[in-house]
Structure 1
Amino acid sequence: MTSPANPTRSDAVRNRDLLVAAGREVLAEQGLDAPMSAVAKRAGVGQGTLYRHFPDRLTLATAVLEENVRDIEQVAARPEATLADVLGVVTWQMIRSTAFVGIIRLGGEAHSRHLADRVRTALDGLPKETHGTDDIVLAVAMVSGAVYGQTLEAREAAARRAWRLLGIEIGPVTSGV
Structure 2
Amino acid sequence: MLGNPRKVNRGPAASADNRQAILAAARAVFAQRGYHAPLSAVAKAAGVSQGVFYRHFPTRLELAFAVFDQHWADYEAISADPDPQAFARLWSLIMDKTIDEAAFVEMVVDARRQAVGYDGADRMRALLGPPLARAQDAGLVDPRLTVDDVMLAQRMVFGIVVTAIDPTDVRNQVSRALSALELLPPA
Alignment TM-score, normalising by the size of structure 1:
0.80
Find the counterpart in structure 2 of residue 164 from structure 1. Answer: 179
> Percent of counterpart pairs with the same letter?
35
The within-5 A match list for 1:54-65 is: 54-65=57-68
Q: Which residue in the other structure is 1:145 paired with? A: 159
Q: Deviations over 1:78-103 (max 9, x none)?
A: 23252211110001101111212324
- The structure whose RCO (Cα within 8 Å, separation 6+) is larger is 1
For the pair 1:75 / 2:90, whether they are aligned, the reply is: no
SS at match of 2:12: coil
Matches within 5 A, 1:114-153: 114-128=119-133, 129=136, 130=143, 131-147=145-161, 148=164, 150-151=166-167, 153=168
Deviations 1:4-43 (A, max 9, x none): 87422xx222211111111111112222211011101111
Shift of 1:72: 1.5
Matched, 1:98 2:102: yes
Deviations 1:114-135, CA, capped at 9 Å, x for gaps: 2332222110121332211111
Are the equivalent residues in 1 in contact too, given 2:30–2:37 (CA < 8 A)? yes
Q: Cα deviations across residues 39-66 of structure 1 (Å, max 9, x unaligned)?
A: 0111121211111100121111121122
How many positions carry a matched residue from both structures?
A: 166
After superposition, where does 1:14-29 map in structure 2 within 5 Å? 14-29=17-32
Provide the rounded CA distance (Å) in 1 between the counterparts of 2:116 and 2:181: 28
Check whether the contact 1:94–1:101 (CA below 8 A) recurs between aligned residues.
Answer: yes
**Contact 2:102-2:158 at 8 Å conserved across structures:** no
Q: In 2 relative to 1, CA 139–146 (structure 1 residues): closer, same or farther, beyond 3 Å?
A: same
Structure 2 segments unaligned to the other structure (5+ residues) = 1-7, 137-142
- State the structure with more CA Rg: 2
What CA distance in whole angstroms lies between the structure 1 residues aligned with 2:17 and 2:117?
Answer: 26
| TM-score (norm. length: structure 2) | 0.77
Provide the residue aligned with 2:139 in structure 1: none
CA RMSD of aligned residues (A): 2.5
Runs (4+) off by over 6 Å: none
Say whether the 8 Å CA contact 2:79–2:128 is kept in structure 1.
yes
Comparing 58-67 with 98-107, which one deviates more in the overlay? 98-107
Please give the alpha-carbon distance, in whole angstroms, between the structure 1 residues aligned to 2:50 and 2:110.
30
Shift, 1:149, TM fit: 5.3
